[in-house]
Structure 1
């Protein structure tokens, strides 16, 4: 889903709005509607109205006037999401996983870029805690310029969210250990 959103969301969508889009895409029903409890949004620090407006501005979703103080309801306009695997129960589990990957103790207070990057890194890490990715693909998924990836990786290492990382001198690929 991260790759799909990287391809469909335009440049300029900030990382917190991308995290919101990820949760919406993983929690939507088969009619492209999503109901997100405000408590969940507050815990993710995604309850800011400007994040919803960012996604509305690019015609990715529309918030419903039926939203209440306890739940935000949205309608997604990207019908291509329906063709994305996995099925809804698996997407809901993935949404819960992304919630946990987004909020480890060391990244939880970090900004949106670091939080989205932690989800990306966790999604591309094997069972031994090691990962590999092309920097330009990671940059696109995280809404960054490729030149910003090295700085972001240094920040994640400094917070302890990332054990180590390096850039392969031959291929340019990023290698990391959580």
Structure 2
């Protein structure tokens, strides 16, 4: 495995078996002045959205294109919750809340892509080992990454019922991670499809579904279909 450093995203995207490693995935010195949290926050910080956005971007290149939306959501939780040795421990309650408990086919899918070791079904928390060393020693500590992983489960303000299809949940998460301070938000149509592993037609259908269930008020594409705008 090769890691491309100081290379542009276009070059990495055009080269087989490569992926852009975001800055938050690279080792960085931890701050020495750590202040205790005195109040529970109810709103996500921009850093949490940034970590989820960058991890979605990384996984879009690191995972095979055919990876299912449910497996991508599972991989995101694993990548954000891993320790420095690539070991992930997922409580049963977390997997049940995601409607992924005992979905062994998803673990097999990620193992088939050589992203983690095969998962052995057993009672109690799921413990797996990630083979992708790029996510082992990420810049932010485990606390900030776990908060980002928790926000990704219920990405305000684009909240969905946990029973919603994984494809709908994934595209809603991708949109929530790209929110802007303005009332109207934009993202490249190809970028959105790349993050979710969908074609242009599939992405448009999923956006229509978000409007139908009133998660989005509306969405539209520009004249060249390069950019999608939603509110």
Normalised to the residue count of structure 2, the TM-score between the two structures is 0.70
Matched, 1:96 2:165: no
Inter-partner Cα distance in structure 2 for 1:174 and 1:85: 31
From the superposition, tell whether residues 151 and 89 of structure 1 become closer, same or farther in structure 2 (CA, over 3 Å).
same
Secondary structure, in 3 states, of the residue corresponding to 1:101?
coil
Q: Which has the larger radius of gyration?
A: 2
SS of the aligned residue for 2:154 comes to helix
User: Helix, strand or coil for the counterpart of 2:117?
Assistant: strand
Q: Which moved more, 1:162-171 or 1:114-123?
A: 162-171
Of the three residues 81, 84, 94, the one matched with 1:30 is 84
SS at 1:151's partner residue?
helix
Q: Structure 2 residue aligned with 1:151, among 202, 205, 215?
A: 205
> What SS does structure 2 have at the residue aligned with 1:62?
coil
Mapped contact 1:102–1:108 kept (Cα < 8 A): no
* Structure with the largest fraction of helix: 1
Structure 2 equivalent of residue 11 of structure 1? 65
- 2:117 corresponds in structure 1 to 62
The answer for the alignment partner of 2:9 in structure 1 is: none
Verify: 1:20 aligned to 2:74, yes or no: yes
Rate the CA distance shift 1:4–1:129 in 2: closer, same or farther, 3 A.
Answer: farther
Q: Aligned in 2, Cα 1:171/1:22: closer, same or farther, shift over 3 Å?
A: same
Q: Structure 1: 5+ residue runs without aligned partners?
A: none
2:99 to 45, 66, 71: 45
Quick check: 1:107–1:159 contact (8 Å CA) kept in 2?
no
> Secondary structure at the residue paired with 2:155?
helix
